A and B are shown apart, each in its own frame.
Chain A
């Protein structure tokens, strides 16, 4: 039997909210960056690719620490945001940023794989038929990258659900405010007598991941069928 404390429901809701927001916010940027590195040649492209992939190789705690330096009260951006009355650190928004940064390379990689599989001739045909580059982007590249976009979004959503290291540094572990499922499990695992609740949250994590994977498969099959 699953056992939950009231704050656990908040952790589940917050996890879903953070993962959805981080994925939706990252999608347009991920798509544009994937387009840039797939189709365009420009100076500094290699450096850009390295920076896109950097969060994949860095420990999440390191990313969290850099974000803290950037967004903290004395940080480069944090000071400006503070002056504008916006507080990021130790709010759920910080958890979204942490998840977005950590999952971003997975998103870009998947979209890029989708874009690389597009026949370049098709893009040339589109242009010679009168489509401007942005028209081709929307009417040819976007629909033909859809499998990559769905795969990338699923991966990023799943990665966001499991995000721990960067989130705990930049958002803290405040029940009801910034405590997501992994952070709650961490809390319960460290205090004796809460094994049942920790296990219940683990099961919720598994179920959420399964739902995402099943949706990904279904969407992929539908696209394959219509393509």
Chain B
């Protein structure tokens, strides 16, 4: 999927002037609130008319002010999942799901209803009204409704922002699996770096109504590590929990991690800030941190006034942030061995 756009739009004081070409199946649109992300989404979907410019999707012109082309939203085959599920309250779950499907051209209908219902685990809800669904269930129905319209592009405009953390990380696998399983490319819009890293490969950065850059989600997170108040968030997927001394021992690749906030779920996702990891040049004989990992330095990089240290712990990646002085004292260079100490309480469970 390729989007090529050069568009301008003015609303009073705010002006958007964005020009970009991006291709891929999992594209992110990252920016702070008010940067122009949703305006751009509205213009791509045909819900908002640019003042000027042009938009192409896979070579097809959707909008061109010069050629007086403006394909209406219902003909663009671009479905949207918004922050709020916006389900039709007068229709059942099934009728909501089939709203777009019934309006799609038979030639485009490649998605099987039963398969989608199974993928989103909506079997038990089909005949219900939408009023009694939970927030997560509503967002799953909203996603299913968009996918069933057989779009060629799915726009996800901050679809997780209205959900609490627990629900958010329950929904993310659905967002990814459904679009991958049914082969629908997506543009994921968010102001959260963690969400970007979980959802997107290529990322367009929007700032002040313009495209500030194009990068990968990982690079973006590393670049912003030094300025972010929470540093870089390591996303750690672990398995096989066992209770031990009031904590949970998890398997992380070949390494064992002790975590305070564990659960008996067989798989879990934790976040760990790059600032919650202490590096030691030599093995400390005794330390209060319950995790002491032997790592190899892969590389170091500058991020703002800080130094980022990428570690390999038996093949698993970990990013640590230290100040310049500490990096010099520790003599950190690529290839050297180092110990990373992490308190069991520093891990925050996401899912």
Binding site for B on A (CB under 8 A): 119, 121-122, 124-132, 135, 139-140, 143-144, 226-227
A130 touching B149, Cβ below 8 Å: yes
Q: Are B88 and A130 in contact (CB under 8 A)?
A: no
30 cross-chain CB contacts under 8 A: A121-B84, A122-B86, A124-B47, A124-B73, A124-B86, A125-B80, A125-B82, A125-B145, A126-B88, A126-B99, A127-B74, A128-B73, A128-B76, A128-B78, A128-B79, A128-B80, A129-B74, A129-B145, A130-B103, A130-B149, A131-B99, A132-B72, A135-B74, A135-B103, A139-B99, A140-B88, A144-B88, A144-B89, A144-B90, A226-B90
Check if B47 sits within 8 Å of A122, measured CB to CB: no
Whether a CB of chain A sits under 8 angstroms from the CB of B45 is: yes
Closest-by-CB residue of A relative to B148 is A129
B208 within 8 A of A: no
B 10-65 contacts with A by CB, 8 A: 45-47
A127–B79 alpha-carbon span in the complex (Å): 9
Q: How far is the CA of A121 from the CA of B80 in the complex (A)?
A: 10
Please tell me if the beta carbons of A128 and B131 are within 8 angstroms of each other in the complex.
Answer: no
When distances are taken between beta carbons in the complex, the residues of chain A under 8 Å from B80 are 124-125, 128
Say whether A227 contacts B82, CB under 8 Å.
no
Q: Which residues of A contact B99 (CB under 8 A)?
A: 126, 129, 131, 139
Q: Are B100 and A226 closer than 8 Å at their CB atoms? A: no
A132 to B75, CA, bound (A): 9
Contact mask for chain B residues 103-114; partner A; CB cutoff 8 A; 1 contact, 0 none? 110000000000
Q: Give me the 4 closest cross-chain CB pairs, A-B, nearest first.
A: A129-B100, A130-B103, A127-B73, A143-B90
In whole angstroms, what is the CA distance A227 to B89 when docked? 6
Is the Cβ of A130 less than 8 Å from the Cβ of B89?
Answer: no
Interface residues on B, range: 20 to 34
Residues of B within 8 A of A119 (CB): 84, 86
| Bound Cα distance A41, B40 (Å) | 22
16 further contact pairs, Cβ within 8 A, besides A130-B100, A140-B88: A121-B82, A124-B45, A124-B47, A124-B73, A124-B82, A125-B82, A127-B46, A128-B76, A128-B78, A128-B80, A129-B99, A129-B146, A130-B149, A131-B74, A135-B103, A144-B89
Across-interface contacts of B136 in A (CB, < 8 A): none
Interface SS majority for chain A: helix
Q: Which residue of B74, B84, B88, B90 contacts A128 across the interface (Cβ within 8 Å)?
A: B74
Taking CB atoms and an 8 Å cut-off, the chain B residues in 146-200 that contact chain A are 146, 149
**Interfacial chain A residues near B73, Cβ < 8 Å:** 124, 127-128
Q: How many Å lie between the Cα of A125 and that of B73 in the bound state?
A: 10
A130: chain B residues within 8 A (beta carbon): 74, 77, 100, 103-104, 149
Instruction: Specify which chain A residues have a CB less than 8 angstroms from the CB of B100 in the assembled complex.
Output: 129-130
Residues of A within 8 A of B90 (CB): 143-144, 226-227
Cα separation A135 to B104 with both chains bound (whole Å): 13
Question: A49 vs B91: C-alpha distance in the bound complex, in angstroms?
Answer: 32
By beta carbon, the residue of chain B nearest A143 is B90
Known A-B contacts A121-B82, A226-B129; A131 and B88 likewise in contact (beta carbons under 8 Å): no
Residues of B within 8 A of A143 (CB): 90
Q: Which of B87-142 contact A (CB under 8 A)?
A: 88-90, 99-100, 103-104, 129, 131
A129 to B155, CA, bound (A): 12
Q: How far is the CB of B43 from chain A (nearest CB, A)?
A: 12
Given known A-B contacts A135-B103, A227-B131, A128 and B47 have beta carbons under 8 A apart: yes
Chain A residues with CB under 8 Å of B82's CB are: 121, 124-125
Q: A134 to chain B: closest CB distance in Å?
A: 11
Q: Of all chain A residues, which has the CB nearest B78?
A: A128
| Chain B, 206-235, CB within 8 A of any chain A CB | none
Q: Within the assembled complex, what's the spacing in Å between the Cα atoms of A23 and B255?
A: 76
- B45: chain A residues at CB < 8 Å are 124, 128
Q: A125, A131, A135, A144 — which one has the most chain B CB atoms within 10 A of its CB?
A: A125
CB distance from B179 to the nearest CB of A (A): 16
Q: Which residues of A contact B149 (CB under 8 A)?
A: 128-130
A136 to chain B: closest residue by CB: B74
B89: chain A residues at CB < 8 Å are 144, 227
A146: nearest residue on chain B (CB-CB)? B90
Chain A residues, Cβ within 8 Å of B103: 129-131, 135
The distance in angstroms between the C-alpha atoms of A119 and B74, with both chains bound, is 18
Min CB distance B233 to A, Å, is 30
